[in-house]
Amino acid sequence: MHEDPRQLMRLTLAEDDGTGGPGGSPGGAPPAAQEWFTGLPDTLKPDAAVFEPFKDKPVTDVLGAFRDLSKKAADFSVPATPAEYGLKIPTLPEGITINDKALEGFIATAHKAGVPGKALQAIIDQQVAEIIANNAEEKKLADEADAALHTSWGDKYDSNKTLVEREIAALPQSMKDIITKSGIGNHPHLFELIHLVASARSEGKLRAGGDEGVSKKSHAERLYGGTK
């Protein structure tokens, strides 16, 4: 529900005026209209009813009330285009980035839905704060996993890590792109998984592909076991 602008002005002008509200006076007698009201120019006379409730107030008070009302209205205004929002993106910690294209799409959608600038700024501030908090939590968990990996690998931590990095470098480019985009390229759990796979392959427990390392038994022998 929208507030009546005239009612908002009445509330503004009634604050601390010592008259008991608009149209009142200490003695109870209706105050005389101010000169600014009786001398309204012809261009404003058709709208005299808008100003009539404030005719007893000094023109400076009326103008001040209009300014306050304009400021309140600005909080609910929607710019003509998404580019005119004038939004400020909070400073992001190192390592955190925002997809500019996705942000532009979000702002365009908000503009189409009629979201006021002040409300949209508050939404973006909140979302960025959540991104920063989630990133901090993920970093904390990654640090804890890395510490566990140090304990597990012991003196072999550096050599195992080098092995894992070599394995990642040998992956097809499409897989490396997926790892990069997902942001898990340096995650301890990924290192541990790749190290387990590489170790199993080097020990002959995991074949790299084809029939290499597979016994030349027939399908029946592999399925039912050998026969005498």
Q: Cβ neighbours of residue 207 under 8 Å, at least 6 residues apart? A: 201, 213, 214
Contact (Cβ atoms closer than 8 angstroms) between residue 143 and residue 135? no
What pLDDT sits at residue 94?
A: 84
Structure confidence at residue 82 (pLDDT): 93
Question: Can you give the pLDDT at residue 20?
Answer: 44
Task: Looking at mean pLDDT, say which of 33-42, 157-166, 208-217 comes out highest.
Answer: 157-166
Non-local CB neighbours of 197 within 8 Å, separated by 6+ positions: 167, 206
- 111 C-beta neighbours (distance < 10 Å), count: 19
Task: Indicate if the pLDDT at residue 109 is higher than 90.
Answer: yes
Confidence band (pLDDT; 50, 70, 90) for 66? low
- pLDDT top residue among 122 and 200: 122
CA distances in angstroms from 181 to 4, 12, 107, 167, 175, listed in the order given? 52, 55, 24, 18, 10
221 pLDDT band, cuts 50/70/90, is low
The helix, strand and coil proportions of the chain, stated in percent and rounded to the nearest 5, come to 60, 0, 40
The residue among 101 and 208 whose pLDDT is bigger is 101
Domains of the chain, by residue range, sit at 5-74, 82-136
- State both tokens at 212: 């290499």
Between 211 and 152, the more confident residue is 152
pLDDT average, residue stretch 99-126 = 92
Give the range with max mean pLDDT: 20-24, 61-65, 165-169.
Answer: 165-169
Exposure of 106 in the CB half-sphere (CA atoms within 13 A): 12
Predicted local distance difference test score (pLDDT) of residue 98: 84
What pLDDT was estimated at residue 1?
A: 46
In the predicted model, is pLDDT for residue 165 greater than 80?
yes
Helix then strand count (H, E) for the chain reads 10, 0
pLDDT of residue 47: 72
